[in-house]
Amino acid sequence: MNTTAAEGNNITDHISKLKQCWDQLSLFGDKNYRVSEFLFKRIIASSLPESWDQYTDQFVAGQLDFVDTDPKKNIDTQQFIGYLKQEYERQQSRKLGVIKPSKQALNAYGRENTKPPLASRITGNSYNNNRTSPLQTRCRICRLTNHYTRNCRFKGKPKCTTCRRFGHKTRDHCNAGGGKSANDDGGGGNRYNTNKRPRREANNAGSSIVEVNAAKEEHIAFNADAAEHDDLDADSDLEMYNDAKYHNYDHVPSSTEIDLRLIYYEWLADSGATSHITHRHDAFDTYKPIPPVPIAGVGGAKAHAIGRGNIKLKSKCDNRTYILELKNVLHVPKNKNNLFSLGKWEKDKCSYNTCDGTITLLTKDKKPVARGVKISNDLYKLTFKHVPRMARSDYAFSAASPSQSWETWHRRFSHVRYSGIKKLLDNQLVDGLQIDMHSSKPDCIACTEAKLFEAPYGPASGRQTKPGELTHMDLWGKYDMASIHGNQYYLLMIDEATRYITVEFLKTKDQAVQKIMNYMTYLKTQGRSPCAIRADRGTEFVNQSLKDWCQSQGIELQVTAPYSPSQNGVVEQMNRTLVELAHAMLMAADLPEFLWEPAVAHAAYLRNLSYTKPRAKTTPYQLWNGRKPNVAHLREFSAPIWVLLQGQ
């Protein structure tokens, strides 16, 4: 492609080709391929024939973010191209012998003046012939008609090329998080001359439009169906302007600046679209090519979606940053606008509201996550920051947190066991539990120290003993209330072989030694052969007098391990059983508490006559005495009786 024009070439076609190349370079995601607006004006000027140098030098000097004393040096690329085309039309008309101002000039200046000034008629200079007095009736800086350029209050002040307002530079606008769009007309635009709207919109082209035809008004809407690879039909308007490429050419920074369109890019909120649409391939976080899917618009205009994927958008709202993940976004390269589907947003149980020219996107819990402003043609523009591919987010429209290790989730669940967390994951009982399955499950020192406990003893091994050989013993008391006989303790003795119970009541603990000796002697006189005594480490059992006696009688004294009463569980469990039965009998009969001694004795007597699990086929009484007990004489505890007092 030839990038320079020779004398006699069509300048309009030449400029259109250069602009088309510039548009294509702007689509690249790499900032090294970007050409700034200031540099592009220099490229256009240098590509024209030498005869154009005198005309173009007045437009290409100056700085990007500073309003020079000569306002012509601060016009944007669109205005510069417009002036070049007008000048070329005048030159062509002069060659044909017709000198007539263009229709755009008549609309811009407000009146027609076909007679050139005296200096032009004397010198014959076509350039001076182009500078008519009506140009001086409009301020070149703020575009108002009520003062001259030399008296403009914005003269010498910086102008933001994003919002078109005076008083701050473009970089300050971005650092502040945005501002009003160019279409808000906040920089001293023509607020009164309403019949100049098409030209004003063309000059203020920002995120909504680039060129607007004065004969018709633009309506942007794009309906897209998200069905898999079906034809997507739209019943809305498409932009059909030949030179209009919606790529935000309002400001293209220099090669030394950070390209803001790599960081910020804009979306139009569309209530009619059924799917999100973007023309930027570099914006996708995940991308899947699809066969071309036609998307029909008004007038038979069609575009094609060639891919779909997920896009992450970073927004800043109320001093908080959010990342929105849009799923199944269609990639339509030839579409001029990025379309944010409000219907799709509501379908995901989110909402939005509009008020005073502002649109606010709300999450499911009504939390604002993004805001946009109204621009021309009653459209709303949303500005987001580009999130690089493979970026992760903590808060998202569809959030995907990185997987954490087992140890991290163990701490997050306040030291719940790993097995419990695995149950939550396997049964899908909760959402958001992202675990790295390849991570280890280390021992937790805090859990080891805090969850120490004594493991329960296993079941007792089967012992083949004879009645009287092994006796379990334990001392119960001291009870707060003395019994009717003045006792506060009782000594419980259980035979291992038969589970027969014997209870002896004591006034003090030191009486236990003598009671044990008496019981062992009784067993011998009954033909039993006592071999061992099993008890805890209380002083009533572990004392020198009992040890000496047991050694003299050949009886083994077995004691439990320290702090392990469950090793002697037979007598410990029976203690609880007797006490519970005694309390129940006293409460049922409404008897005074000092009668606990006969109640415990009666409970022990009944337990010998009752079923016991270790000896399920017989009773302890039958095993001990060799005969089946007769229970016909039993009566309820506390039943009234008559006692015969003989001899009185």
pLDDT at residue 225 in the model: 34
Q: Is the pLDDT of residue 70 over 50?
A: yes
Q: Is the pLDDT of residue 115 over 60?
A: no
pLDDT at residue 104 in the model: 43
Task: Give the residue-averaged pLDDT of 585-614.
Answer: 93
Q: Is the pLDDT of residue 324 over 50?
A: yes
Cis-peptide, bond into residue 302, ω within 30° of zero = no
Comparison of pLDDT for 574 and 37, the residue scoring more: 574
Kindly report the average pLDDT of the chain as a whole number.
Answer: 75
Q: Is the pLDDT of residue 400 over 60?
A: no
Instruction: Return the minimum-mean-pLDDT range out of 75-89, 206-220, 450-464, 468-482.
Output: 206-220
Query: Which residues lie closer than 8 Å to 119 by C-beta, 6 or more apart?
Result: 125, 128
Where residue 227 falls among pLDDT bands split at 50, 70, 90? very low
Task: Give the residue-averaged pLDDT of 273-296.
Answer: 84
> Helices (H) and strands (E) in the chain — how many of each?
19, 16
Interval 17-42: pLDDT, tens: 888 887 777 766 566 666 777 788 88
pLDDT at residue 175 in the model: 53
Is the distance from CB of 271 to CB of 352 less than 8 angstroms? no
Identify any residues that bridge with 351 across adjacent strands, giving them in sequence order: 362
pLDDT at residue 208 in the model: 30
pLDDT at residue 464 in the model: 58
CATH topology of domain 470-625: Nucleotidyltransferase; domain 5 (3.30.420)
Give the residue range(s) of CATH 3.30.420.10 domains in the chain. Answer: 470-625
Percentage with pLDDT > 90 across the chain:
27
Dist CA 207 CA 374 (whole Å) = 11
pLDDT at residue 215 in the model: 31
Residue ranges in 98-231 assigned as alpha helix (H): 103-109, 118-123, 126-129, 170-175, 197-203
Q: Got the DSSP string for 56-115? A: HTTTS-S-TTS--SSGGGG--HHHHHHHHHHHHHHHHHHHTT-----HHHHHHHSS---S
Interval 44-54: pLDDT, tens: 888 888 888 88
Q: Got the DSSP string for 596-607? A: HHHHHHHHHHHH
Q: Is the pLDDT of residue 564 over 70?
A: yes
User: Torsions phi, psi of 232, nearest 5?
Assistant: -100, 110
pLDDT winner (highest mean) among 155-169, 181-195, 405-419, 459-473? 405-419
Task: Give the residue-averaged pLDDT of 531-535.
Answer: 93
Instruction: Return the minimum-mean-pLDDT range out of 28-42, 510-524, 543-557.
Output: 28-42
Q: How crowded is residue 189: how many other Cβ atoms within 10 Å of its Cβ? A: 20
pLDDT winner (highest mean) among 225-234, 334-343, 472-481? 472-481
pLDDT at residue 33 in the model: 64
Comparison of pLDDT for 59 and 622, the residue scoring more: 622
**Contacts for 94-101 with beta carbons within 8 Å, 24 or more apart?**
94/126, 99/129, 101/132
Residue type, 466: K
pLDDT at residue 463 in the model: 62
Comparison of pLDDT for 644 and 160, the residue scoring more: 644
pLDDT at residue 345 in the model: 87
Task: Give the residue-averaged pLDDT of 301-309.
Answer: 83
Query: Which residues lie closer than 8 Å to 450 by C-beta, 6 or more apart?
Result: 415
Output the CA torsion 248→249→251→256 (10° steps). 110
Q: How crowded is residue 2: how many other Cβ atoms within 10 Å of its Cβ? A: 9
pLDDT at residue 531 in the model: 93
Output the CA torsion 36→39→43→46 (10° steps). 170
Q: 349, 241, 332: which is closest to 290 by C-alpha? A: 332
Interval 245-272: pLDDT, tens: 333 333 333 333 334 444 457 888 888 7
Task: Give the residue-averaged pLDDT of 129-158.
Answer: 65
pLDDT at residue 178 in the model: 46
pLDDT at residue 622 in the model: 93
Q: Tokens at residue 342, please?
A: 């409000």
CA 608 to chain centre: 68
